[in-house]
Amino acid sequence: MSVHIGANKGDIAETILLPGDPLRAKYIAENFLEDVTCYNEVRGMYGYTGTYNGKRVSVQGTGMGIPSISIYAQELIEQYGVKNLIRVGSCGALQEDIKVRDLVLAQAASTDSGVNQRRFHGIDFAPVADFNLLKKAHDIATERNFNVSVGNVYTSDNFYTEEKELTNTLANHDVLAVEMETTALYTLAAKFGVSALTVLTVSDHIITGEETTSQERQETFNEMVEVALNAALSE
Ligand SMILES: O=P(O)(O)O[C@H]1O[C@H](CO)[C@@H](O)[C@H]1O
Ligand SMILES: O=c1cc[nH]c(=O)[nH]1
């Protein structure tokens, strides 16, 4: 057991999906995996291991924001030997041609967080996705005719913000969407020499104001899960 995960060594697969919402983890386990066991209920942050097309895979809720995902990612890598981490999250779109329910693959992640400023003594580290996972995910999404965009995302410490000028500047520099975890996931993957990718579904639109319900955020982001599972588990 680690501090925040009540699993034994060997209970967690080398490949794991990481939704922020623990109930999305439950939904994924119940609807996509076979032979499922629940290995974690500590803090209600559900974790499950099962199989997808015969291959072993886990899914673990991470909670919201950089501090929370950092705890789960580090314990999964250091204490359970996880090697491939694919975040499956929701985001707010920053570009007009990206629509609600479209997919966004995070090639890189900008941030307003001070965490990496401290880690890298004030220099601007550029956290990036694993190229192989990114390429596979993009191939799978385009083969299936899903609406998908690839590019920079903005990992913000604030869900509620009045920084319209900042949002406009980010949008004008081709940042595709805002979410709250990817900078940390990519940085920890680089530190520990493992692979990471973030696959996002647009849950709301920062420019048009269109949004989805919390029920939809939990249960209807199936395209994202299909892309993540197939990219992570293909040879
Ligand atoms: O849907 P998840 O994966 O939680 O991701 C997004 O949703 C949460 C905010 O509502 C933040 O965690 C953000 O990154
Ligand atoms: O962090 C997030 C997630 C979804 N939508 C947003 O606007 N922000």
Q: How many A from CA of 85 to the centre of ligand 1? A: 16
Q: How many A from CA of 87 to the centre of ligand 2? A: 14
Q: With beta carbons less than 8 A apart as the criterion, state whether 188 and 74 touch.
A: yes
Q: With beta carbons less than 8 A apart as the criterion, state whether 220 and 192 touch.
A: no
204 is in an annotated binding site: yes
What is the tens place of the pLDDT at every residue in 18-55?
999 999 999 999 999 999 999 999 999 999 999 999 99
Q: What is the ipTM of this complex?
A: 0.98
Mean model confidence pLDDT for the chain: 95
Please state which of the four CATH numbers 2.60.120.620, 3.30.1330.100, 3.30.450.40, 3.40.50.1580 is assigned to the domain occupying 15-233: 3.40.50.1580
| pLDDT surpassing 70 at residue 219 | no
90 is in an annotated binding site: yes
**Is there a catalytic annotation at residue 97?**
no
Atom number in ligand 2 closest to CA 64:
1
What is the tens place of the pLDDT at every residue in 174-200?
999 999 999 999 999 999 999 999 999
The pTM (predicted TM-score) of the whole model is: 0.96
Q: What is the pLDDT of residue 221?
A: 87
